[in-house]
Structure formats: C-alpha cells, structure tokens
Amino acid sequence: MCGIVGFSGVRPAAPVLLDGLKKLEYRGYDSAGIAIMGDAGISVNKVTGRIANLCEKTHDGADVPGFTGVGHTRWATHGAPTEENAHPHLSNDGRFAIVHNGIIENYIALREELIKDGFTFQSETDTEVIVHLLEKYYKGNVRDALIKTTNRLRGSYALGVICTEQPEKIFAVRESSPLIIGVGVEENYFASDVTALVAYTRNAIYMDDGEYAELTKDAVKVFDCTGSEIKKEVTRITWDVQAAEKGGYEHFMLKEIMEQPAAIKATIAPRLKDGNIFFEEFDISADELKKIRKIVITACGSAYYAGCSGKYALEKLCHIPVEVELASELRYSDPLIDKHTLLIVISQSGETADTIAAMKECKERGAKTLAIVNVVGSSIAKLADYTLYTWAGPEIAVATTKGFTTQLAVLYLLALSFAEKLECITEEEYTKYMGELHTLPRHIQQAIDMNSKIPKLAKKYHKSSSLFFIGRNTDYAVALEGALKMKEISYLHAEAYAAGELKHGTIALIEDHQPVVALCCNPSIMEKTLSNIVEVKARGAEVLALTFRNNQKILSTADDFLFIPNVDAVFSAAIEIIPLQLLAYYVAKENGCDIDKPKNLAKSVTVE
Ligand code: AGP
C-alpha cells in the first residue's frame, strides 16, 4: 500500500525522490519521508500528510544535498500516521536507512529479540525491525547483511536501503511487493511503480521475488538469494509521461473516465482480426475448453464487480457455470476447485494481497489460472498460467474507472471466443456480438456525451444522507459498482440491492425523498424493474433512472434520468457504469471531497 523510490546519480537526489513520491502518492498518502546520503552521514526528513508537506519542509529538496537516497509515501498499517512511524527508519548506529512497502508478519518476535539484544525502537512499525537486523548482521558487507536479514523475515516486502559505508549505492530487495528498477544515463532508480520512473527513463527491469539489487549511478546489478549475480532483461516502458499526468483535467478520475473509449479500443482492437478473436497470450483449444467444468472468477472490490457482470456474459454465451468469489473469502473457504476449474483472476494493480492468496490456494488445488491485469510485470501477472492485459494505461485515481471497464472488455472477448470455440452460438449471433464489441468504444463515448446534465443532478442529490441503487441481473451487478463508486469518493452511504429483493426487507427504509437510482437497461426484465420503481415511488422515493432515451415507460415514471445508447444487454455493463461514474464524481465534487485520494483508501491493497 506504500510507495518507495530510490535514486543514485550525478544530480541532487532529493528533488528526483520527491517527484517520484508525488507519482506514487496514490499508493498511500498519510505520511512521507526521504533519507539522503550527505557528507556528514544520512539525513532524514519526515512529515505527516501529503508529499506537498515534505516539499515544503525541505524547500523542494534544496535543503538536503546529496546524490543518493531513498523515499517513502505511507499508508499506515502498524502504528498511526505520525512522523515517528513514517519511513525512512534509521539503525541505532546511524549507518543504515530503510524504506519498506509490505508487511512483516513475524515482527513482534523479532522486536522482542532485538530489544533483548539492546536495540532501541523509535516507532511502532513492523518495518523498524528490518533496519536493526541489518545493523545486527552487518559485518562489513551490506549484501550479506541484507540476505541474512531477509532470511529472518516472514511476509511481504519491497525494501530500499542506503548505508554510510557505501555512500554512492542504493540497495533494493523484493519479496511479494512490486519493485522496478529504472536504468538511466549516469543515474539509476528503483520504484514501486513505473509511473515514478517514466519522467526519467523508459528502460526498466522488473525484479522478481527473492532478488536483491545494487545500484550506483553507472551500474545496476541484480543477485539471487545466494548472492550470485543474475542477468535480467531490460524492458521498454510503453507508457508515456502524459499518461501519468492530469493533462488539463481537474482530477485523474475525470481524465480516466474520459479515457475509457480509447482504453477499451486499445484492449479490444489488437485482439480482433479478420472477424475473429485472438489471444496471443492464451491459446486454449476447443478440446481443452470442453474439459472445463466450471469457471471461478476471483477478485476484490470493483474487480470483483467486474467479475459479477462478466458472469452474465460468460454463462449466457458459453453455457459454462461461473462462480464469482471475493478473494478475501475464497482464500479461507476450502474451495471445491480442481484441475477442471478455470480460475479467472481479475486485478487492475496485479498486487492485491487477498487476490494473490486466493490464486495461490486455487493453483495448489490444480486450477488453471488466467489473469486479467493492467500492470505489466505485476505479481499476479507473473503468478498466472496465462495473462491477458487490459491496456488501460496507468490508472492513478484510487477509484477505478477505466480499469473496471477494460476488465469487462476482456471478459466479453473471452465469453465470445469461448462460445465460438464451444459452438454454443450461431454464426448470426457471433456476428452480432462481434459488432457489439467493435462499437463498444463508440457507445462508451456516447454514454459520456449523453449525460451532460449530471453536474446539475449532482447538485440535487449530493445532500442526501443515503442513496439506493437497484437493478436486476446485469443491472444489479452494475448497481453494486455504482454504489461502491459513490461510497468511496463522496462518502455518501450508498447501497445496491437486487430490485426483486426490496420487498424482502429493504423497502422498509424507503421514505419521502429517499433517492433511488434504478438501472433499467435490460429489456428482458424491464417490466419487473419498472414495478419496483412504482413500488418505491408509492412510498415517496425520488427515482433517478438509468435507461435508454426512447424508453417511454421509464421516462414517464421516474423523476430524473441518466442515459445510455440502445445496446444489447449482454455487453451493456461497460456502458451502464459510465453515467454512474460521472454521478459519483460530480456528487463528490459538490461535497468538496478529495476525489483522487479518498480518505482511508489506497490504490493498491497489498495487505490482507
Ligand atoms: C475501486 O474503485 C477500488 N479502489 C477497489 O475496490 C479496487 O477495485 C480493489 O481494491 C481491487 O484492486 P485491484 O483491481 O488492483 O486488485
């Protein structure tokens, strides 16, 4: 959940570290710090709150001279977000400073041992044990000390270390937390995410678990856990600097909503050739597909809701039973999964701890694993048998938008490709759904353009104490994601209900002026949802309906409207969510919320 950076070069380190931390701030933003190797040893600066405070404290880094350093932006797990608990942490002898992303599970036992050894602790963090272990094991060779230290750790860590004995070097280690090396000219870097590197270099080395790196201004060396040097491939980063910047938009979230037509096109187009669907990275034959008895989709948060929506397309088109499981539940559920199960793992970041754990559990039981991931080289992408990337580009806002819709796009491609291989649909149907996929980017653009009244609607609904989202089937799955968007960025209480369930309890909550967002985009069950709208209206609700422009019955019943173009319900979820993303965005804006960095949240949830 935290972000780390490291730099060694011929120019001052602090401004580069601060710039990198700003790019990583979406990963955690409750405190931050940098450690710079100066002439008189290591100088540490820490603040609570945002990177802006650290820039202010250090005058944009000008107060801390030095050419080597490490930095950290924190999402607190062990210990409150105070300066003491902020990273970097120093060893008692002042020789080492470290930054850490991850969790050390056995830190209590290690802390007790180190206290008995005479070390004193300055913080409540799990991280601090690492720096004291380094001091304990240091006998003149930092690499040896790091290997001995990490051999004692249980949990996940990406570590950045500087040591006064080798002032020109930065050290890094990776175990179950992302870490990427940037290879520059007369300077080298490491960071939790490529977004912190693209302004400086396009050449990256993706570190694997159990690898150690040593970087100076002119050399990058990577070692395995025995200390032997290993050769690593340098990969070209395709994201450009603008992709990680706001580009004139007030918030990343709005920029990312607007980028969806292009992101969907980038995800779909390369996989459609001559009227067929190709997955270079996943070429499953019809015979292999026939052996799959069920598909299990696992993920967290919005990625889970993408799975809930995708289930409808997969089951309808390929007639394979699909179960969608929250990864945090699946991992502890002793799941009925074997080699006849295809496990689809969905994750924007590719680093979500629960999703990784659920995936490992299912792999052990023999499932074939197919990952749908946005971040290239992420842990989930590395772990999966097959990976299909969503080419959404960097998603910076904590609330996912283009991550979600590109996940749906890949699920739609899979559904149609499986259906064709299994001969579950006619040629006519295949052609029709191919057409829907081709036009998906255009329909998403239309959904953006048709809803220019949303800022006005937000002025009406932003003061509500709660919002209900209702729908059936795919509409219900989208309602779940719509309600989550509203909760996480506007802090309004928002709950999604399967419309048919209202009368089993929830309708008791409907009273005068209660806003109900009713999703009515599936003609086969429209009449049923219409009845639910009538029921809640009869009890005083104010209904904001999401539907087609020509849907007269709904238009004459509801109070306000969000629109989507007329599309087939099988692939409509990716379009339906657009007005709901915009509604959440403008409601949050009305409420003066910090839209890109909502309170208590972080983009990448690398802790359980
Ligand atoms: C969505 O807006 C949330 N930020 C969150 O639910 C997110 O989708 C979830 O944490 C899963 O993340 P992942 O896709 O990176 O695995």
Q: What is the pLDDT of residues 146-165, one digit of tens each?
A: 999 999 999 989 999 999 99
**How close is the Cα of 602 to the center of ligand 1, in Å?**
9
Q: Give the distance from CA 57 to its chain's centroid.
A: 30
Which secondary-structure segment (H or E) carries 145? helix 142-151
355 in ligand 1 pocket by Cβ < 6 Å? yes
pTM of this prediction? 0.85
Q: What 3-state DSSP class applies to 563?
A: strand
Tokens found for residue 542: 């104010």
Residues with Cβ within 8 Å of 419's Cβ and at least 6 positions away in sequence, in order, are: 317, 318, 425, 430
470 in ligand 1 pocket by Cβ < 6 Å? no
- Angle, helices 402-421 vs 573-590, to 10°: value is 170
307 in ligand 1 pocket by Cβ < 6 Å? no
Residue 604's pLDDT band, with cuts at 50, 70 and 90, is: confident
The answer to whether 183 and 232 have CB atoms below 8 angstroms apart is no
- Cα distance between residue 480 and residue 30, in whole Å: 28
The sign of the torsion formed by the CA atoms of 250, 251, 253, 258 equals positive
Domains of the chain and any CATH numbers:
3-239 (3.60.20.10), 252-449 (3.40.50.10490), 454-590 (3.40.50.10490)
Amino acid at 105: E
Q: Which of 397, 385, 418, 173 is nearest to 316 (CA)?
A: 418
**How close is the Cα of 289 to the center of ligand 1, in Å?**
29
416 in ligand 1 pocket by Cβ < 6 Å? no
**With 80 as the cut, is the pLDDT of residue 71 above it?**
yes
Average pLDDT over residues 28-55: 95
Mutate which of 29, 192, 300 for ligand 1 pocket (most atoms within 8 A of beta carbon): 300
Average pLDDT over residues 128-138: 98
Percent helix, strand, coil in the chain (nearest 5)? 40, 25, 35
Strand ranges for 80-210 from DSSP E: 89-90, 96-104, 155-163, 170-175, 180-183, 187-191, 203-206
Average pLDDT over residues 441-455: 95
Bridge partners, residue 162, by sequence = 97
The per-residue pLDDT for 1 is: 73
The per-residue pLDDT for 605 is: 81
**With 90 as the cut, is the pLDDT of residue 544 above it?**
yes
- Cα distance between residue 284 and residue 430, in whole Å: 18
Mutate which of 400, 404, 406 for ligand 1 pocket (most atoms within 8 A of beta carbon): 400
Residue 184 φ then ψ, to 5°: -115, -165
The per-residue pLDDT for 240 is: 73
Tokens found for residue 394: 């960097």
Residue 248's pLDDT band, with cuts at 50, 70 and 90, is: confident
Residue 274's pLDDT band, with cuts at 50, 70 and 90, is: confident
The per-residue pLDDT for 249 is: 93
Phi-psi map region of 504: left, alpha, beta (phi>0 left; psi -120 to 50 alpha): alpha
Q: Which of 325, 319, 329 is nearest to 343 (CA)?
A: 325
String of DSSP letters for 342-374: EEEEEESSS--HHHHHHHHHHHHTT-EEEEEES
Q: Give me the chain's average pLDDT, please.
A: 95
The per-residue pLDDT for 578 is: 98
Bridge partners, residue 543, by sequence = 516
DSSP code of 503? G
Residue 600's pLDDT band, with cuts at 50, 70 and 90, is: confident
Residue 352's pLDDT band, with cuts at 50, 70 and 90, is: very high
Burial of 430 (0-12, 13-18, 19+ CB in 10 A): buried
Tell me the pairing of strands 180-183 and 203-206: antiparallel
* 603 classed as catalytic: yes
